[in-house]
Amino acid sequence: MATQTLNNVQILLRNDTAANWNSKNPVLGKGELGLEIDTGRFKFGDGATAWNDNTQYGGIMIKANAKNGYITIDGVDTLVYTLNPATSSALGGIKSGSGIGAVAVDSNGNASVASVAAAGKLSTGRTISLGGDISGSTTFDGSVNAAITVALVATGVTAGTYPKVTVDAKGRITSGSSLMAGDIPSLPLSKISDAGTAAAKNIGTAAGNVPVLDSNGKLADSMIPSLAIGDVFPAASDAEMIKLSSAQQGDICVRSDTNTTYMLKVAPYSTLANWVQLKTPTDLVQSVNGKTGVVIITTNDIAEGSNHLYWTQARFTAAFQAMASTELSDGATILHNTDTLIINCGNA
C-alpha cells in the first residue's frame, strides 16, 4: 500500500466543560488527551483511571481579580504590580506636572488642572433647526459630525401628475388641474405626427376611400372579389377522371388505380391532357444495410467505425483507469492529500 502524506490536517481534541467531565467521569485511553474548555486545564489518560481519579492536571487557569494589581492563577490571588505610594507632591502612581492638560498636586495632596486642552464635546448637546421653505433639525454636541435631513415645506398640492400647473415667484407649484377643452388649441392634421395616413382619407367605396363596416361588423358583398374553392374528386381510371363534370380549374383528382394525384390545369375537364400529375418524392429508403422489408439491425450487421465502438471489458477497464476519483459518484467522500482533514475527538 502506498504511503500518503495528508496536508492541512486539523485535529480537534476531545473537550468539554469541567462540570461535564466530572459528571460523565470517562476513562481516557492511554495517551488520550481531555481538555476542560472553561478552565484551560487538561489530563492525559492511562487507559484505566477514571477522570475524577486522575489527579495529574496540566495547564493553568487565569482569571481577572477585583483587587488592583492582582490576577487569579489556579484560584490563588497573585500580585502582579504595585503603585507608587502617595506623598504631598505625588498621588499613588501619579506625579505632579504643569502645562495644558497636566495634573498638579499641592502640598496637601490635592490634584487640580490649571488649564485644559480643547474640549472633545459639549457638556450639553444642542439642537440645530432649519425653517422657512425647508425644515429639518439635528442634535450636535461636538463629538461626531452631524447631518441634517432637509424636507421641503408642503405647498398643499396633492401629489400626482398634472398637465396644467400654477407656479409662484419662488418656482414652487402651488396648484394643479386637468386640461379643459378650452385649453387645447385647434391643430391642423399636418401638426399631428402619429395620426397615420388613414386619418386624411374619406370614407366610401371609391378608389382611395376607407371602407366602413355595416351594422353586423362586415364589409359589403360588393367589395369582396369572387373566391375559387378547390375540390377533391376520386377516380379509378382515366375514363372516370375525364367525366368529372363538376371539376374546375385547380381541382384535385385522387386516382385509386395508380396511387397518384392529378390537378386540372385548364378547362375543359374532359380533355385528359388538361389533367397534370403531381410529382412525388423519389428519395425513398430502398434498404437498410442491404436489408429490405421489416429490418432488424444487430451489432453483427454493423462494423465498428470511428464514430462508434462496441463495449468490451478491456475498453471499460482502460476508460475506468483513466478516470479521476473525483469523477466517480462517491468521489466527494474519498480523502485526497490536498483535502483538509478534521479529526473531532468528541466531548466527554
Look at residue 96 in the predicted model and tell me its pLDDT: 61
Of 150 and 18, the structure prediction assigns the larger pLDDT to 18
Mean pLDDT score of the chain: 80
Mean pLDDT of 17-40: 91
pLDDT at 1: 47
**Mean pLDDT (whole number) for 10-23:** 92
Q: In the chain, what are the domain boundaries?
A: 10-62, 236-277
- Considering only CA atoms, which of 180, 181, 184, 177 is closest in space to residue 162? 177
Q: Are 346 and 32 in contact (CB under 8 A)?
A: no
Between CA 40 and CA 49, with CA 44 as vertex, the angle to 5 degrees is 120
Model-level pTM?
0.30
Residue 139 has pLDDT above 50, yes or no: yes
Q: How far is CA 276 from CA 132, 246, 256, in A?
A: 95, 17, 16
Residue 286's nearest CA partner among 295, 297, 278 is 295
Percent of the chain with pLDDT over 70: 85
Res. 93: pLDDT tops 60? no
The residue type at 124: T
Name the maximum alpha-carbon separation found in the chain: 148
Query: What confidence category does residue 242 fall into, taking pLDDT thresholds of 50, 70 and 90?
Result: very high
Instruction: Give residue-wise pLDDT tens across range 275-331.
Output: 999 987 666 677 777 777 788 888 777 777 777 778 889 888 988 899 988 888 888
Whole-number pLDDT of residue 315: 86
Length of the chain: 348
Please list, residue by residue across 212-242, b when 16 or more beta carbons sit within 10 angstroms of its beta carbon and e when fewer do.
eeeeeeeeeeeeeeeeeeeeebebeeeeebb
Q: What are the backbone angles phi and psi of residue 24, rounded to the nearest 5°? A: -80, -30
pLDDT digits (tens, 9 = 90+) for 51-89: 999 988 777 667 777 887 788 776 778 887 776 665 655
Give the pLDDT band of residue 101 (cuts 50, 70, 90).
low
Q: Quick count: other Cβ atoms within 10 Å of Cβ 46?
A: 14
24 contact partners, CB below 8 Å, separation of at least 6: 16, 51, 348
